[in-house]
Amino acid sequence: MLRGGLRGARWCGGLCSSLCLVGAGRSTLLRRPRALSAAFSSNGGGARSGGAPSAGASDVKPLDGVKILDLTRVLAGPFATMNLGDLGAEVIKVERPGAGDDTRAWGPPFAGTESVYFLSVNRNKKSIAINMKDSKGAKLIRELAAVSDVFVENYVPGKLAEIGLGYEDIQKIAPHIVYCSITGYGQTGPMVQRGGYDSIAAAVSGLMHITGHEDGEPVRAGVAMTDLATGLYTYGAIMAGLLQRYKTGKGLHIDCNLLSSQVACLTHVAANYLNCKIEGKRWGTAHGSIVPYQAFKTKDGYIVVGAGNDQQFVTVCKILNLPEVSKDSRYKTNTLRVENRKELIDILSTRFSEKATIEWLQLFEGSGVPYGPINNMQQVFSDPQVLHNGLVMKMDHPTAGRIAVPGPGVRYSDFAMSHPKPPPLVGQHTVEILKGTLGYEDDAIEELLRTGAVAQHEVR
């Protein structure tokens, strides 16, 4: 049974879910993390800026003390919550007993028995295995929501409401909650009941229509960019939701979806159509509005060069020893270069094919013109800048051993996102969470385990 301490708890407002225990004539503040309170000025709103870092600042992260209840699976949601976990949030990942997150079965490759796909987006999380179809399991989700700051889910709209876990249900017991839903197409509309995967959303949103060789078929991007973009939108939206709650004292519902995220990311291609009725098309590695801005085949590989202004174009011509091209009236401005694209690209392509990639890289070094090789994975993770930026995170996993995954793409002056926790096993932290977060006693936990409402993975 639950210890009496959390019964009758009432939320007091703020960036994280401070709880007031109300009962027996007393009201006691349970928690308001120091790190979060210090991040805002006392007059409400406005992030602290300037000044020297406080003592021990490297040990404080922006989301220390924020608890996130994560019901998401696959990529967009887990990517978002992993990024929040990197910033110090406690992420409780809810999984199905046994199978867990769908991506645990996605492979090969596997590291031992663990899907490398799953390992790539689930660090800094705890896993609790709950059978949500069991009424006792759904009750546990509600109890966890009551003591969490954020509730994230990616079920088809209406599915969680059927078991009493929709936004309106959770809002009643946790009015402070920042409840974020991630779907394929949104919470309302004609496509609301469709499931959403990255490839389908990339197709419907038009991304596939503009991706691929100019004369070729539509192509899916090499990674799930629609999912990842949605994950980043979700990450930012949850941060905004926490700030909004700090200002208003109330939680809110956030609607993130793959279609909206990808359409929003069409940027200039969408604007070209909306304002000029210019239909989008595939350009391969090239750009519809900038020339030259593409990959060129060298004697032994490829180099990508982008001349974003007229001076950079003159420099490109100088490096290629084509001074006459920079003086040609057909190529004087970017607009003219776009109009005369084919002739110019033919000239540049012929010259690039005469030297090896490394020779061109050496010639472009220090020129001020953006350039680079097309690297494979081995080359990426031996690149000196990638290594300098600390983009590889290594962890000791309980069954897979030493693993490495790509780390966060952002660095901060006042704290380091180091010492990550490895991705969890299914239900690895079930008992820990039931005891430490909800205050369940051993006999109650044993009953939940016996009936299959929860499961605990025993690490051997």
Catalytically annotated residue among 134, 215, 227, 310 = 227
d(CA 314, CA 307): 9
pLDDT per residue as tens, the chain (460 positions): 333 334 344 444 555 554 443 333 333 233 344 344 433 332 333 333 333 344 444 678 999 999 999 999 999 999 999 999 999 999 999 999 999 999 999 999 999 999 999 999 999 999 999 999 999 999 999 999 999 999 999 999 999 999 999 999 999 999 999 999 999 999 999 998 898 899 999 999 999 999 999 999 999 999 999 999 999 999 999 999 999 999 999 999 999 999 999 999 999 999 999 999 999 999 999 999 999 999 999 999 999 999 999 999 999 999 999 999 999 999 999 999 999 999 999 999 999 999 999 999 999 999 999 999 999 999 999 999 999 999 999 999 999 999 999 999 999 999 988 789 999 999 999 999 999 999 999 999 999 999 999 999 876 6
- The answer to whether 346 is a known catalytic residue is no
pTM of structure:
0.87
SS3 sequence of the chain:
CECHHHCCEEECCCCCCCEEEEECCEEEECCCCHHHHHCECCCCCCECCCCCCCCCHHHCCCCCCCEEEEECCCCHHHHHHHHHHHCCCEEEEEECCCCCCHHHHCCCCEECCEEHHHHHCCCCEEEEEECCCCHHHHHHHHHHHHCCCEEEECCCCCCCHHHCCCHHHHHHHCCCCEEEEEECCCCCCCCCCCCCCHHHHHHHCCCHHHCCCCCCCCCCCCCCHHHHHHHHHHHHHHHHHHHHHHHHCCCEEEEEEHHHHHHHCCHHHHHHHHHHCCCCCCCCCCCCCCCCEEEEECCCCEEEEECCCHHHHHHHHHHCCCHHHHHCHHHCCHHHHHHCHHHHHHHHHHHHCCCCHHHHHHHHCCCCCCEEECCCHHHHCCCHHHHHCCCEEEEEECCCEEEEEECCCCCCCCCCCCCCCCCCCCCCCHHHHHHHCCCECHHHHHHHHHHCCEECCCCC
Task: Yes or no: say if 124 and 424 are a contact pair by the CB < 8 Å rule.
Answer: no
Q: How many CB atoms lie within 10 A of CB 149?
A: 29
